[in-house]
Amino acid sequence: MNNINRTIKVSTPSNIAFVKYWGKKPVQYPLNPSVSMTLKNCVCEMDISYQSVENGSFINNFLFNDQKNEKFLKRLEKYLNSLKEICPYLENLSFSIKTNMTFPHSAGIASSAAAFGALGYALANIEREIDLISLEEVNQRASFLARLGSGSAARSIEGPYCIWGDHHQIKSHDDYALKFTNIHSSFKDVKDVILIIDQNEKSISSSEGHQLMNDHIFKETRIHQANQNFIDIISSMRSGDWEQFGGILENEALTLHAMMMTSQPSYMLLKPNSLQVIQKIQQFREENALPIYYTIDAGPNIHIIYPKNYENDAENFIKTELSEYCENGRYIIDHCGTGACLTD
Ligand code: PMV
């Protein structure tokens, strides 16, 4: 590689799982297939300058939201080190990375999915620039590389929906996520309002949570259930059956937390206000017969999912009846997006 000195700018969103990935096999393969919605406004913007050097020093400059961040830098360095075998060209590059998140850290939106999605997408584009892959291969390669940093990041490259993980009936892969196509028109524009119930850092990381699935008493039952939910949610998103979709969505959210509560050791990430909000949503849906459902990531914050044409009713309800359960009344309004892009 001769005298390269370039900058690549990418923007990559986070995503929220409808069917959850929980538990993994080496190397960052999911125990079960998952389905997700790619967000639009909650993105990681990343500028990566890369230079050819004799012996790669990897990251020689790193800023996260305009500040040094040793913890995240260490995680990125560990990630790049782990890629040396599959990306030998890294030995001859050094990087300067500037990262900006458009959403608050610990807001219940996976920042690692957006950050590793951005890094995977940037690396895949670098591979295209140095003629290792073609333009058509970029997204698949990006998803593959992102997965090795954070499993769910594999699903941040394409949008509005992705599937990831082997399934015997559907063309879906463990190695990388695929855009999920042939959806019903009522799923073309879907909103996600994230209620910030508690902004404190989680008491246990996702990696520790995944690990607890290895010896979980309900491991096999969970794998079986997720495979069935995967098929059923895909079918509901193709037929436009919001009732079936919502039932699975909420069942998946509660199952994720049930797995946490029944692991050894057990732990609980939901807060009293998370439960209050869940009950309010169920009641509002029953009283008004509206397709407004919730999901939850690995934390106490609640994602409210509904078709855009119900936004007036939904957002009025959120503002008047749910915002009081949020920390400082905060919530983030987002909707489905198309995935990673170059911004330069
Ligand atoms: O990507 P990881 O390894 O941080 O795992 C995240 C798993 C969940 O967010 C809890 C569920 C999912 O499928 O995104």
Please tell me the pTM assigned to this model.
0.97
Q: Ligand 1 centre from 134 Cα, in Å?
A: 29
Alpha-carbon Rg for the chain in angstroms: 20
The pLDDT value given to residue 201? 79
Phi, psi values for residue 299, rounded to 5°: 180, -175
The pLDDT value given to residue 1? 65
The pLDDT value given to residue 2? 67
Does the N-terminal peptide bond of residue 277 adopt cis geometry, omega within 30 degrees of 0? Answer: no
Residues within a 6 A CB radius of ligand 1: 17, 20-22, 34, 110, 112-113, 150-152, 206, 297-298
> How many C-beta atoms lie closer than 10 Å to residue 218's C-beta?
15
Q: Ligand 1 centre from 17 Cα, in Å?
A: 8
Residues with Cβ within 8 Å of 114's Cβ and at least 6 positions away in sequence, in order, are 12, 13, 14, 42, 43, 44, 101, 153, 156
- The DSSP symbol for 87 reads -
Q: Ligand 1 centre from 151 Cα, in Å?
A: 7
The percent of the chain in helix, strand and coil, each rounded to the nearest 5, is 45, 25, 30
What residue has token string 């291969």?
137
Mean pLDDT by 10 residues, the chain (344 residues): 88 98 96 98 97 85 93 93 94 95 82 96 97 98 98 98 97 98 97 94 89 98 98 98 98 98 97 98 98 97 98 98 97 98 94
Which atom of ligand 1 sits closest to the CA of residue 152? 1
For residues 180 and 162, is the Cβ–Cβ distance under 8 A? yes
